[in-house]
Amino acid sequence: MTTPPPDPRRTLPGVDRVVDALDGLPHPLLVECARAAVDHARATVTPDADPDPDARLAAVVADARDRVATRRRALLHRVVNATGVIVHTNLGRAPIPESAFAAAESVATGYANLEYRLDEGTRGSRHAHAGALLATACGAEAGIVVNNTAAAVLLALGAVARGREVIVSRGELVEIGGGFRVPEIMAESGCRLIEVGTTNRTRCADYEAQLRPETALLLKVHASNYRMVGFTEATPVTELARLGPPVMVDAGSGLLDATTPWLAAPPPWLADEPGIRQVIADGAALVTFSGDKLLGGPQAGVIVGRADLVAACAAHPLARAVRADKVTLAMLQAVALEYLEGRAADLPVWRMAAAPVAELRNRADRLAAAVPGGSVVDTEAVAGGGSVPGLTIPSVGVAWSVPDADDTVARLRRHDVVARVERGAVVCDLRTVDPADDDRLAAALRDALGAGPA
């Protein structure tokens, strides 16, 4: 009499045995991966599967190891941005400069005079550091820093216009991605939205016709992520500032000065992007902008402008809910100091944006020579992050025409390299790649393209 073969469903390994064969993550995460692999095996096993317990264990362990690798790759970590999008929201927007990192490390690993006046030994304000310096850097009376620009706009509207009216052009009731919709933010802040003008044209008289005692602010929103062309008209800040109520400008990108004194000349691709200094000089009473777009610092929202209005923002209860922490403030202070010292060209965002095409071409030549099949191509990089829509920055990359470009970029992602596919070719744009990562990029490409090691 022969014994019947064991049911393969009964020879599944226990989770503990699978965990014993795993490493590379903390134990609770290994348990999650092992359990998922065992559950998957149980759900997919068929009666005719190999019933040998060792074979079952090996198969489940292999699946669990894949899950561990996937889980490790999903942890927050550094990647190479070969997309040519400088302020890439999904890849963490602006890389911060070394000076900001050093300041953050020092402040974060110890105590700091965050809200303390060392001279007097009394309580101070967290706005005395980065906020005040950024105000000086753009010619404003005062400034404060909060968590991000969405919070800055919400706070400024809530503090200055709650229960009153804010006049906005119909052409500026925009959505800036990730759910930042101007009408919704205004509703949340408790002010009443008064729309004026039309989608493509709004004149000063349109605002003027709606002025009432209840008018708290005239709001201008920079349409960061799209561009209107043709029969259009918008009212400049200078004209609005003459109407009486304070003018608030959500400038968004954090271009501190449109004349870019830190560069040899303002680059053509920055045309139309409002400079904070210019908006303040034109008479805006409040300006909101981002710390991690073209300012080149950490995620933050900055409010600069008239001292009384900025003080009202700082004193509002919402300010406590959206305030920036000491690490952000340390980083942003370092960035503000770079601008004040005339060294903004060294900020990673500006270094990448202003890198000469010839320099990129040299690097592209080396990359194409190091990875078989590559050809140097002219590319178009972009500022990204909802700034400077429609304008591109001449750039250089390397392209590989392969039959399976999508699979190749997927293999590159396993090496933490994010590239683009263009007309069936894998393209790496060098403008957004740190030159220190060039060798690593070449090695990842050789592997993803099956070229073997150099």
Residue 189 lies near ligand PLP (rule: CB under 6 A): no
| String of DSSP letters for 149-180 | HHHHHHHHHHHHHTTSEEEEEGGG--B-STT-
Report residue 8 as tokens.
């393969």
Cβ proximity to ligand PLP, 235 vs 253, nearer residue: 253
Stretch of 231-239, 245-253, 326-334, 417-425 lying at the interface with ligand PLP (CB under 6 A) = 245-253
Residue tagged 């890389």 (tokens) = 95
Rounded CA-CA distance 91/70 in Å is 18
Span 371-410, contacts to ligand PLP by CB under 6 A: 386
Instruction: Among 301, 374, 384, 397, indicate the residue that binds ligand PLP (CB under 6 A).
Output: 301
Span 211-240, contacts to ligand PLP by CB under 6 A: 221-222, 224
Cβ proximity to ligand PLP, 84 vs 386, nearer residue: 386
In the bound state, the residue with its beta carbon closest to ligand PLP is 252
Rounded CA-CA distance 247/360 in Å is 42
CA distances for 182 relative to 150, 170, 261, angstroms: 9, 11, 32
For 433, the enclosing helix (H) or strand (E) is: none
Cβ proximity to ligand PLP, 316 vs 446, nearer residue: 316
Cβ proximity to ligand PLP, 186 vs 221, nearer residue: 221
Residue 260 lies near ligand PLP (rule: CB under 6 A): no
Smallest gap from residue 30 Cβ to ligand PLP (A): 36
Cβ proximity to ligand PLP, 180 vs 350, nearer residue: 180
Q: What are phi and psi of 381, to 5 degrees?
A: -85, 165
* Pair 256, 380: CB distance under 8 Å: no
Residue 250 lies near ligand PLP (rule: CB under 6 A): yes
Cβ proximity to ligand PLP, 149 vs 169, nearer residue: 149
Instruction: Among 81, 99, 149, 432, indicate the residue that binds ligand PLP (CB under 6 A).
Output: 149
Smallest gap from residue 250 Cβ to ligand PLP (A): 5
Residue 252 lies near ligand PLP (rule: CB under 6 A): yes
Rounded CA-CA distance 258/273 in Å is 7
Residue tagged 């669990």 (tokens) = 64
Beta-carbon contacts of residue 138 (< 8 Å; ≥ 6 apart): 256, 257, 276, 277, 280, 287, 304
Which chain residues interact with ligand PLP by CB under 6 A?
Answer: 148-150, 176, 180, 221-222, 224, 250, 252-253, 290, 301, 386
